[in-house]
Amino acid sequence: MRHIKWGLVVGLVILTLVSLGGGVTAIAKGTDKTVTFGQLTAKNPKRLAAIRQAARQQILKQAKAKKGNQITAVYQVKLPTHMTKKATLTPDGLQMNLLANHFKLKKITIPYSQLKGKVVNRYLPKANRTKSVKTTKMVALTFDDGPDPKLTPRLLKTLKKYHVHATFFEVGQSVARYPKISRAVLAGGNELGNHSWNHPNFNSIGTAKTVSQVTRTNRAIYQATGTLPQYVRPPYGNITAAEGRAIEQPVVRWSVDSRDWAYLNTRKDINEVMKDTHGGDIVLMHDIHAQSVAAAPTIIKRLKAKGYKLVTVSELLNYHALPGLQYFGAHDYRTTGK
């Protein structure tokens, strides 16, 4: 009898925990829980936009999409915009029902690993929750305008040699030309972002053309790597609030500009970065200039000697980057276009 009573007590405790919601529900074997998007996001519309972003990646994955028109079509799928809409926490991820769509999918299940920082922590398994991080000794190196067929592979070798990772904001037309290099960027543990199709000034082309630039580049990156890029870095840093709302991706700017494109001088590149970089900074460089790539080993060694850990943008931002916001550093963000 004691064993039976004890089993009943344990069962009641588990049921109580499940009824409270949170990570226990998400990972309990054989347990599903219905939640609203308002609960998942604490009624934050930017978090909901981030869930939509993750949903597009999952739709493409489940549909095994490869063709360019399929990648374009994913942006036409109607995804939740209201906090009262419901989803289901399952042992495998967040399950969402879909309206009729091009892919003929009735539902998708987004792995919890793709929702880190997007969903309120208590609704995620412990392994996928964000924790407080100290960014005073973290720096994110970023490289724009690639991939370059010679210089990007050289830079990747440098990053591998010194056991560090960086974030590459790539131009779509170059990704289409050199897809193997974009795959190598990700294979090395680095991160890929969207830097437009052919580097126009978004402020001068209008919202519709900006969306086209971003979508076309997302398509090129997906076709090259099987992954939609999370971030957009607008050329010249220029983007309007309307464009930010329309593209529905976090915008990443920078807090340290190496001005390597102006100097084209390895020593000046090194000095400029070392003079201005502090913990929590996002450093802007380019992997299309030989002088910049040549400067990277010294910059990495000197930053590491100062005790800095060189990380991806996602690590620096602790996976909390949300659409509608632009990020200049670890704790410096504001509404896109402002």
Q: What percent of the chain has pLDDT over 90?
A: 89
Q: What is the mean pLDDT of the chain?
A: 93
pLDDT of residue 91 exceeding 90: yes
Place of tokens 């407080």: 132
What's the pLDDT at 29? Answer: 53
What's the pLDDT at 221? Answer: 98
What's the pLDDT at 3? Answer: 45
What token pair was written down for 142? 């970023």
What is the rounded distance in angstroms from the CA atom of residue 298 to the CA atom of residue 258?
Answer: 14
- 199-222 pLDDT, tens digit per residue, is 999 999 999 999 999 999 999 999
Q: Report cis status (omega within 30 of 0) of the bond before 234.
A: no
What token pair was written down for 206? 């209008």
User: 144 catalytic, yes or no?
Assistant: yes
Beta bridge partners of 232: 194, 251
pLDDT of residue 301 exceeding 70: yes
What is the rounded distance in angstroms from the CA atom of residue 243 to the CA atom of residue 322?
Answer: 15
Better pLDDT: 225 or 13: 225
Q: How confident is the model at residue 15 (pLDDT cuts 50, 70, 90)?
A: very low
Q: What structural domains and CATH numbers belong to the chain?
A: 17-127 (no CATH), 138-335 (3.20.20.370)
Neighbours of 5 (CB within 10 A): 9
User: 195 catalytic, yes or no?
Assistant: no
Cβ proximity of 330 and 316 under 8 Å: yes
- 185-199 pLDDT, tens digit per residue, is 999 999 999 999 999
What is the rounded distance in angstroms from the CA atom of residue 295 to the CA atom of residue 278?
Answer: 18
pLDDT of residue 266 exceeding 80: yes
Give the contacts of 245 (CB within 8 A, at least 6 positions apart). 324, 336
* HEC secondary structure over 31-52: CCEEEEHHHHHCCCHHHHHHHH
Selecting among 281, 286, 287, 289, the annotated active-site residue is 286
Better pLDDT: 196 or 12: 196
pLDDT of residue 11 exceeding 70: no
pLDDT, mean of residues 68-96: 96
What's the pLDDT at 54? Answer: 98
What's the pLDDT at 46? Answer: 98
CA 217 remoteness from chain centre: 15
What's the pLDDT at 31? Answer: 78
What's the pLDDT at 6? Answer: 45
- 155-170 pLDDT, tens digit per residue, is 999 999 999 999 999 9
Beta bridge partners of 332: 329
pLDDT, mean of residues 73-85: 97
What's the pLDDT at 338? Answer: 84
- 21-54 pLDDT, tens digit per residue, is 444 444 545 579 999 999 999 999 999 999 999 9
What's the pLDDT at 30? Answer: 56
Half-sphere exposure of 302 toward its Cβ, with a 13 Å CA cutoff? 15
* HEC secondary structure over the chain: CHHHHHHHHHHHHHHHHHHHCCHHHHHCCCCCEEEEHHHHHCCCHHHHHHHHHHHHHHHHHHHCCCCHHHHHHHHHCCCCCCCCCEEEEECCEEEEECCCCCCCCCEEEECHHHHCCCCCHHHCCHHHCCCCCCCCCEEEEEEECCCCCCHHHHHHHHHHHCCCCCEEEECHHHHHHCHHHHHHHHHCCCEEEECCCCCCCHHHHCHHHHHHHHHHHHHHHHHHHCCCCCCECCHHHCCCHHHHHHHCCCEECCCEECCHHHHCCHHHHHHHHHHHCCCCEEEEEECCCHHHHHHHHHHHHHHHHCCCEEECHHHHCCCCCCCCEEEEECCEEEECCC
Please tell me the pTM assigned to this model.
0.91
- 234-244 pLDDT, tens digit per residue, is 999 999 999 99
What is the rounded distance in angstroms from the CA atom of residue 337 to the CA atom of residue 317?
Answer: 19
